[in-house]
Structure 1
Amino acid sequence: MTNNRYQKPSPQTQEDALKIAKSIQRPAQTKEQTKLIAQGIQQGIDIYKKQQKEKARALNKKLKKVSSQKSELVESDDQEIETHIVYRQHGLPWLLLLLTWLGMGVYWFTQ
């Protein structure tokens, strides 16, 4: 369901269109022709404004989508940070220390 009702253009748009139409007016051109040209310019301005609004809406949708994806990534990263890291020490250094002390003890007692 599209909304096809025609909105009355703003007075500023009408004035701008009339100024432009008068600035390009030919010497033999009647006022009625100038009004028709002004209406065409006015419609062009309205179409341009609608296109710009649509582009702005599309850009806002994309920005919202990207920001929601970023927030989801940040939330998932937080979960990864909360994991606990457990370090397990290897037994080899302790074994070497013990063997070194035993070796020194045996050396001192045998002399």
Structure 2
Amino acid sequence: MTKNSYQKSSQQTQEEALKIARGTQRPAQTKEQTRLIAQGIQKGIDLYKKQQKEKARDLNRKLKKISNQKAQSIEPDDHEIQERIVYRQHWLPWLLLLLTWLGVGIYFLV
């Protein structure tokens, strides 16, 4: 199966190309020349639309690929890392508390 690379232009594109061709028409220009210019403009518009569609498809593919990669990289990280927080206190307050209790104990015993 062969694929035709030429697609029929929309009516809007044809009208737009004819409008542009008439806008740039020279005084001694024939209708045939204007029609040929309009066809050239129409082909240019069609080529531009085709390029834009291809760019959009490429961008969508890249975005889809990146989102798939992100989704795959996120899946293994679902297991949260359990952190164990250990509060370490300085020994000086405990020593002072012990000495205070010893001092109070000795004071009441004596």
TM over 0.5: yes
Query: Which letter maps to 1:41?
Result: I
Query: Structure 1 residues 68, 102: closer, same or farther in 2, change over 3 A?
Result: farther
1:101 maps to 101
Query: Which letter maps to 1:54?
Result: E
Alpha-carbon distance, 1:109 to partner: 1.2
1:50 maps to 50
CA distance in 2, matches of 1:7, 1:62: 27
- Provide structure 2 residue ranges, at least 5 long, that are not aligned to the other structure: none
Aligned residues: 106
Query: Which letter maps to 2:107?
Result: Y
When normalised by structure 1's length, the TM-score is: 0.70
1:26 maps to 26
2:84 maps to 85
After the TM superposition, which parts of structure 1 deviate over 6 Å for at least 4 consecutive aligned residues?
none
- 1:59-84 residue CA offsets vs partner (Å, 9 max, x unmatched): 334444554555545973x544x514
User: What is the RMSD computed on CA atoms of the aligned residues?
Assistant: 3.0
Query: Structure 1 residues 54, 94: closer, same or farther in 2, change over 3 A?
Result: same
- Provide structure 1 residue ranges, at least 5 long, that are not aligned to the other structure: none
